[in-house]
Amino acid sequence: MLQMKGGVFVQNDIGKRIAELRRERGMNQEELAELAMLHRVTVAKYESGQVEPGALAIGRIADALGVSADELLCRVDKLPPFINMVKGVVPIVGEIACGQPITAEQNIEGFADLPDGVTADFALRCKGDSMNPTFQPGDLVLIRQQPEVQQGQIAAVGVDGEATLKRFYKHGDGIVLVADNPAYPPQVYPAGTDVQVYGLAVGFVRMFGKEKA
């Protein structure tokens, strides 16, 4: 199994971040451990930097602290908060898979609201749950069209002509696409595979109730 550090699942300062957020919420290590279904000693080792938490532990700790995994990891590409009724529109271009890739449809099926201060060229609709909790099925992910993204940023990526939404990494001569849902293993593509970055995810629109597709 591919194991990657430095931004995929953990960062060097993740322990300090856990301790900081825990103290801000007035928790001790035992209380955090209980909420996150972990041992207190394990939490102590995470905070001291002796052990780096895996994806499952990060998810549990984030839930216990009331933050997203991205906020816990201090990722540079943290997305805006929930967006519902906002002004400005961008075209919705087909769908994008958040599980296994599907063939991208290039026809415009409608329009998505665009929040103030966000520049995007089009929106793609999520399917599947591989990007949970960042995105949910039915979310419209706002994409700024660009041919390259930084390590670990969420991108709309075409693989052999099919589109998917994942965190993008260059690993050696190949490409690694990583889901936010730890149940999905990284997708590794060797050099020579037709992998194309369509654009960077810069926000999303989440519909509620009857508005959700």
Q: Which three-class secondary structure string do you get for the chain? A: CCCCCCCCCCCCCHHHHHHHHHHHCCCCHHHHHHHCCCCHHHHHHHHHCCCCCCHHHHHHHHHHHCCCHHHHHCCCCCCCCCCCCCCCEEEEEEEEECCCCEECCCCEEEEEECCCCCCCCEEEEEECCCCCCCCCCCCEEEEEECCCCCCCCEEEEEECCEEEEEEEEEECCEEEEECCCCCCCCEEECCCCCEEEEEEEEEEECCCHHHCC
166 belongs to the catalytic site: yes
Q: Which of 48, 68, 130, 170 is catalytic?
A: 130
68 belongs to the catalytic site: no
Q: How far apart are CA 80 and CA 8, in angstroms?
A: 20
The DSSP bridge partners found for residue 171 are 174
Q: Which of 48, 87, 166, 170 is catalytic?
A: 166
Residues involved in catalysis: 130, 166
